A and B are shown apart, each in its own frame.
Chain A
Amino acid sequence: MTAVTHVNEPQYEVVWPLGKPAYAARAPNERVADLSSKVIGETWDYLFRGEEWFPILREELSKRYPGIQFVTYDTFGNLHGLNQRELVAKVPALLKEHKVDAVISGIGA
């Protein structure tokens, strides 16, 4: 790109100050068309009243989707606390162990 220049002003040629992204873009995994009889995992950062709204979500999802089950957030622990990295590293194994089909993760606030 070249900008409009002024007479007698030095001209600068400069480089990009950012860095390239470490990860290539990819699409998210396929969704679950019907949540009935599915196992839903909950991951939480133990912030912003999740202890109140996760139970409401469970209650309402159970009304709409027969047989839906939940692996509650306490199974995974506080994923934003002191032991974040250790606990996050255990998440894939726990999802497999509990045969989780989909995850609700919160809360970004």
Chain B
Amino acid sequence: MPTVSIISSGFLKQAAVVAKGLGLPEMAIAEFPGVPMTQSKAELRRQVIEQLLPRVIEGLSKPVQRQAAEREVLLPEPREIVFRGDFDALQEHFHQQGWSDGMPVVPPTLERIAKFLKFTERDANEVIGVMPPANRVASVWNVAVNGVMAGCRPEYMPILLAVAEIVCTPEYKIEDAGSTPGWESLIVLNGPIVKQLGFNAGQGVMRMGKQANTSVGRFLRLLVRNIAGFTHAPEGADKGSIGQSFLVALPENEDAAADIGWAPYSVDRGFNAGDNVVTVQSVVAISAPTYSGTEKAEEHMKIIADVIGERACGYWSAIGMVYANWHPLIVLGPSIAKVFAQDGWRKDDIRRYLYEQVKMPASRAEHYAYHCGQTGFRVTQAVKDGLLPPAYHESDDPDRLIPVFQRPEWIGIVIAGDWGRNQSKGYVCNHVQGVPTSRKVRLPQQWEALLAQAQK
């Protein structure tokens, strides 16, 4: 079908990556000049008639250029040596090619990759999936390559494969990881593997510095860059307008959960306690460090609802409403989780409180959504379309209060952080992009022996 795609000026590079990834490098594009969201109605009309219209007509009518599409491009084979040189030369080459994240990478030599492959029984050539928008193939091999580059240890390989499986699932929508909000993927870990591999679930859990947490988080950013194609602006396809840097992996402190009789986060995700589980979800913003100091659960809850619920989540929940999908994550400090448990609260009580108590006017949600670009969003219509629950349209008052949290069960709760302080934090997800997705870690049969050998 002859098609012309309308792309605004600031997104032409992203369009080129999408077009190439689809195998249509000569896709017809009509540039929409400027920033549509900041133009007056009169200016918008003028731009459409004078600039966009002729480009649309040309895109639909001008004969296709076929030369470039038919040119065959030879790409390296997996084990092919693509560069030889010393450390400095190698780093320079990787920077120039856009293969690194701006920091030095560990050289992906055949010997190092072989060490990673020992930690999986899967064939190195096995295809894990395709990662849009570049639509490059993610394989066991290039997971190992990027794991080496990130500074991972070979024994992290089972986790890296689970992470890659998750971001390759269509539901995760990795193709939108370069959207303007600049969301990052957060890896949450559960199970005995957390201790076996030396992850930090305690104080400073989200700081760079611990090899396991840091390198696994960095691996995912390299994978998103090198396989999905989200290289850095301005030359690359990553369109995060301001963006943020990669997040280190977040392991849960399962001992703290067990001490208070709470099931680990992995059980909330549908697995058995004690399973090694990786969950990945988007994070678009992080709350202030939230301190609550009292021995009463409800007092903690009020502060968490205020700071994490209303202040951190409130704004972006409007975008979550547009997509009718939104999964914020709360990291509770162990001492705070303990107060909740001592007062008889379960995780579901926390979720229910947030759902029932944290609200915003419907008109404000529409206001936030419009300015973000979701210009046609109406809360009432979303309810009528079955996208939002009836609680969002209990009256026709435009200023009626509606829940910030769409569904209690969509609120994730993980126990981690400093046991000696009383702090929690909220991680605001994007929406339908980067929904929490989990996989059980597949360990090789000789895991214990291999691990012992690696940790000698």
Contacts and interface: CB of A to CB of B under 8 A. Distances in A.
B60 A16 contact: no
Contacts of B376: 46, 50-51
18 contacts: A2-B84, A4-B89, A9-B88, A14-B90, A15-B79, A17-B99, A23-B22, A25-B20, A25-B70, A40-B60, A48-B375, A49-B375, A57-B48, A102-B4, A105-B4, A105-B5, A106-B32, A107-B36
Contacts of B102: none
A49 B44 contact: yes
A82 B5 contact: no
Interface stretch (B61-69, B202-210, B305-313, B397-405): B61-69
Interface string B32-59: 1001110001001100110011001100
Contacts of B90: 3, 12, 14
B70 A14 contact: no
Nearest to B93: A3
Contact of A18 (B79, B110, B227, B322): B227
Contact of A13 (B2, B93, B110, B170): B110
B435 to A, nearest CB: 10
B94 to A, nearest CB: 8
A16 B82 contact: yes
A44 B130 CA distance: 25
Given A47-B373, A100-B1, A104-B6, A17 B145 contact: yes
Contact of A35 (B18, B25, B61, B76): B61
Contacts of B322: 81
A83 B387 CA distance: 10
Contact of B222 (A13, A17, A29, A61): A17
Contacts of A9: 86-88
A38 B113 CA distance: 56
Given A57-B52, A107-B32, 20 more contacts: A3-B86, A4-B85, A5-B89, A9-B86, A10-B87, A15-B78, A17-B99, A17-B142, A19-B131, A25-B71, A27-B64, A31-B2, A31-B64, A32-B60, A35-B61, A49-B37, A61-B56, A82-B432, A84-B432, A108-B18
A82 B79 contact: no
Contacts of A82: 323-325, 387, 432
Given A15-B76, A109-B10, A31 B63 contact: yes
A2 B85 contact: yes
Contacts of A33: 61
B142 A51 contact: no
A51 B60 contact: no
A102 B2 CA distance: 5
B61 to A, nearest CB: 5
A22 B44 CA distance: 38
Main secondary structure of the interface of A (DSSP, over half): loop
A53 B33 CA distance: 12
Interface stretch (B133-141, B188-196, B276-284, B329-337): B133-141
Contacts of B24: 25-28
Nearest to A56: B48
A52 B113 CA distance: 53
Given A12-B90, A47-B375, A85 B48 contact: no
Contacts of B18: 108
Contacts of A11: 84-86
A84 B173 CA distance: 11
B23 A25 contact: yes
Interface in B77-118: 78-90, 92-94, 99, 107-110, 113
Contacts of A25: 20, 23-25, 68-71, 73
B372 to A, nearest CB: 9
A72 to B, nearest CB: 13
B84 A3 contact: yes
Contact of B61 (A31, A51, A100, A109): A31
B28 A19 contact: no
A29 B1 CA distance: 6
A20 interface: yes
B60 A109 contact: no
B78 A48 contact: no
B44 A19 contact: no
B432 A20 contact: no
A10 B375 contact: no
Nearest to A106: B6
B408 interface: no
A69 to B, nearest CB: 14
A25 B11 CA distance: 21
A57 B93 contact: no
A103 B76 contact: no
B139 to A, nearest CB: 6
Contacts of A102: 1-4, 60
A31 B20 CA distance: 19
Given A14-B81, A15-B78, A18-B226, A109 B2 contact: no
A65 to B, nearest CB: 9
